[in-house]
């Protein structure tokens, strides 16, 4: 969680994908890393949701992460690569489902 809070790693992912010189396989690979990290973050939210009540700041974090995820979806959607199919669908599902806060 500290990677998102302290280092804004979600922003790094979306900015990296927007660079014009990012190759097709780099977009897929960085997107894969983002999806895996986001899945773990959501699992962490679910684990903690039973232990403590989340604040408005947790909801803001979810919104910020979903904004970054939409940017990753946009960049991944523009890539012509067979490897993107799994990660695009998983990321799309993560951005559309509400997180238990």
Over the stretch 17-41, which tens digit does the pLDDT of each residue have? 888 888 888 888 988 998 898 888 8
Q: What's the number of domains the chain is made of? A: 1
Domain that holds residue 38: 2-96
Find, among 100, 91, 43, 93, the residue nearest to 68 by Cα: 91
In a domain, 42, yes or no: yes
Calpha distance 63→69 (Å, rounded): 10
> In 22-95, where do the E strands start and end?
none
More reliable by pLDDT, 50 or 44: 44
In a domain, 101, yes or no: no
pTM over 0.85: no
- Return the number of other C-beta atoms located less than 10 Å from residue 65's C-beta: 21
Half-sphere exposure of 14 (CA within 13 A, CB side): 16
In a domain, 64, yes or no: yes
């Amino acid at each position: 969680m500290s990677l998102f809070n302290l280092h804004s790693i979600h922003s790094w992912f979306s900015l990296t994908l927007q660079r014009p010189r990012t190759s097709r396989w780099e977009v897929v690979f960085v997107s894969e890393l983002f999806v895996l990290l986001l899945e773990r973050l959501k699992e962490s939210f679910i684990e903690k949701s039973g232990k403590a009540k989340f604040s408005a700041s947790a909801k803001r974090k979810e919104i910020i992460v979903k904004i970054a995820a939409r940017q990753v979806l946009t960049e991944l959607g523009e890539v012509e690569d067979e490897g993107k199919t799994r990660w695009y669908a998983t990321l799309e599902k993560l951005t559309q489902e509400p997180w238990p806060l």
